[in-house]
Amino acid sequence: MWVPQRAWNPIPMELAATIQRIERAAGALATQSVARMDEELSWFRELPADQRSMVMLVAQAGVGSFVNWLRGEGRNPAVSDEVFDAAPVELARSISLQHTVALVRVMIEVVEEQVPQLAEPGEEAELATAVMRFSREVAFAAARVYARAAESRGAWDARLQALLVDGLLRGDDGDELAGRAAALGWGDATPVSVTVGRSPGGEAAAILHGIHRATRRMGVDVLAGVHDDRLILVLGGAPEPLEVAGHLTGQFGDGPVVVGPVTASLSEAGASARAAMSGYRAAGAWPDAPRPVSAGQLLAERALAGDTDARRILRIDVFGALERAGGALLATVDNFIATGGVLEGTARALFVHPNTIRYRMRRVAEVTGFSPFDPHEAFTLRVALAIGRLDPASDVIR
């Protein structure tokens, strides 16, 4: 298929004498350019000596590339990235794209000022036009170099984050995890929680870029990893992680998004990760679960799926809390569930007024965190009562 080419006017061969002049002045042009950078750019003066020497190499390469470009006679009008081959990786890591543009601008200004001395008589206009076109091509070359560096860095960061999240799920040493996180710019923000959902698919680096951009606007630190078809986020500095996850649901694929409990630090976040992963696996048992949903709301489903941590929480913090509260709360919940959540029926079974049942149900919600008036929370209470009676009583009352 024919693709239209960009219009290009070749440099006339009459510039051959001018090109020779530029070749002879190459070293002086590079030296003048670096001297001008030192004079005009305060941040350039603060660079270490090795980085300043890299800039000198790039300046010399730039003049050489300009000569080669002029000799191309339009056959290869685009400037290759050889201008930055002297130290592309080091420059991209130590000097920002904005600063690189400033360096190129200074170099071009120096060459433009020297056009009357560099050009053969009568060729000044052609050389000035060539400098303008070359500066545009150098700008494109710089953009390509930094774009490749950003892509490489993004892919590398994605791999590091995936390894860190994998270590968190395995329960690796907390200090080791903190060290890896620091290398990724983690600010040790607290509290920390883990969110799990389905990956939207596509390149991991692109997925993570979208997540980092979204969390940065919310002032939340994040580490993320794609594991098989799951996207796992470690959120730092989010006191209400369920609310933050609500703003991030668009970053996940279809299916449940489960938020683990908050922990005091990254080294303790393994517990949040285990709860979130367990909730993600068990969420299918609650088709109408909200999105996102907390792992705590899925305690019953997790316990039925074999999660021993969820079983322990239901036994101690729900069933045990009802026993410790006294006041016939446990018997009232039993009867309320048995009557299908009918206040009057429960009141008749216990020979009390319906208002007494209402009061006791409010107390149940206070001591357990689950309201018998909510259908799903009533189901969680029912599972907790069954587990509490099946497991040893010594584990319940503490």
Q: Do 204 and 189 lie in a common domain?
A: yes
Tell me whether residue 126 is in a domain. yes
Residues 298 and 320 in one domain: no
Domain boundary among 246, 275, 302: 302
Return the pLDDT at 208. 78
Is 297 found in the same domain as 312?
A: no
Q: State yes or no: pLDDT of 51 exceeds 90.
A: no
**Within-domain flag for 162:** no
Q: Which of 302, 317, 346 is the last residue of a domain?
A: 302
Q: Residue 376, Cα to own-chain centre: how many angstroms?
A: 34
Confidence of residue 303 (pLDDT cuts 50, 70, 90): very high
Instruction: Return the CATH number at 215.
Output: 3.30.70.2730
Q: Which residue range forms the structural domain that includes residue 138?
A: 13-150
- Check whether residue 31 and residue 100 sit in a common domain: yes
Q: Are 35 and 55 in contact (CB under 8 A)?
A: no
Q: What is the pLDDT of residue 256?
A: 96
With respect to residue 156, please indicate whether it lies within any of the assigned structural domains.
no
Q: How far is CA 83 from CA 78, 96, 124, 194, 200, in A?
A: 12, 16, 24, 45, 39
Residues 137 and 176 in one domain: no
Asked whether residue 7 is domain-assigned, the answer is: no
> Do 283 and 179 fall into the same domain?
yes
For residue 6, name the pLDDT band (cuts at 50, 70, 90): very low
Q: The domain spanning residue 379 has which CATH number? A: 1.10.10.2840
Number of C-beta neighbours around residue 129 at 10 A: 12
In what helix (H) or strand (E) does residue 193 lie, and over which residues does it extend?
A: strand 192-198
Which strand ranges, in their side-by-side order, compose the sheet holding 192-198? 221-227, 230-236, 192-198, 257-259, 293-294
The DSSP string of 270-327 is: HHHHHHHHHHHHHGGG-TT--SSEEGGGGHHHHHHTT-HHHHHHIIIIIIHHHHHH-T
Structural domain includes residue 121: yes
Task: Please state the rounded mean pLDDT for residues 367-396.
Answer: 87
Q: How many whole angstroms separate alpha carbon 253 and alpha carbon 229?
A: 9
List of residues 6+ apart from 199 with CB closer than 8 A? 207, 226, 229, 230, 231, 252, 253
Residues 226 and 182 in one domain: yes
Q: How much is the average pLDDT of 54-78?
A: 68
> What's residue 237's pLDDT?
87
Residue 5 within a domain: no
Residues 180 and 75 in one domain: no
Q: Which residue has the tokens 């470690």?
A: 234
Q: What ranges in the chain are assigned the alpha helix state H?
A: 16-24, 26-40, 42-45, 49-71, 88-94, 97-113, 115-118, 124-170, 174-183, 204-218, 241-248, 270-282, 299-304, 308-313, 320-325, 329-338, 343-350, 354-368, 375-390
How many angstroms separate the CA atoms of 120 and 244, rounded?
A: 66
pLDDT at 111: 83
Q: What is the rounded distance in angstroms from the CA atom of residue 379 to the CA atom of residue 367?
A: 16
pLDDT given for residue 245 in this prediction = 94
Report the mean per-residue pLDDT for the chain. 80
- Beta partners for residue 36, in sequence order: none
Determine, yes or no, domain membership for 109. Answer: yes
Residue 25 lies in a domain: yes
Among 271, 302, 333, the domain boundary falls at 302
Comparing C-alpha atoms, which of 151, 158, 154, 45 is closest to residue 103? Answer: 45
pLDDT reported for residue 9: 46
Asked whether residue 276 falls in the same domain as residue 190, the answer is: yes
Nearest to 18 by CA among 131, 95, 102: 131
In the chain, the number of structural domains is 3
For residue 263, the 8-state DSSP code is: B
Using CA atoms, how far apart are residues 378 and 372, in angstroms rounded to an integer?
4
Considering the domain architecture, whether residues 279 and 321 belong to the same structural domain is answered as: no
pLDDT per residue over 130-158, tens digit each?
888 877 777 666 666 665 555 555 555 65
Q: What percent of the chain has pLDDT over 70?
A: 77
Can you give the pLDDT at residue 189? 78
Return the pLDDT at 315.
Answer: 95
What's residue 367's pLDDT?
A: 94
Per-residue pLDDT at 354 exceeds 60: yes
Are 220 and 103 members of one domain? no
Token code pair at residue 219 = 């002032």
Q: What is the pLDDT of residues 72-131, one digit of tens each?
A: 744 344 554 555 554 445 555 566 666 777 777 788 888 888 888 888 888 888 888 888
Band of pLDDT at residue 265, cut at 50, 70 and 90: confident
Question: Beta partners for 195?
Answer: 233, 259
pLDDT tens-digit series, residues 175-210 = 666 666 666 667 677 899 999 999 998 877 778 778
**pLDDT tens for each residue of 248-258:** 999 999 999 99
**Do both 276 and 323 map to the same domain?**
no
pLDDT of 165 > 80? The answer is no
Is the whole model's pTM more than 0.75, yes or no?
A: no
Identify any residues that bridge with 233 across adjacent strands, giving them in sequence order: 195, 224
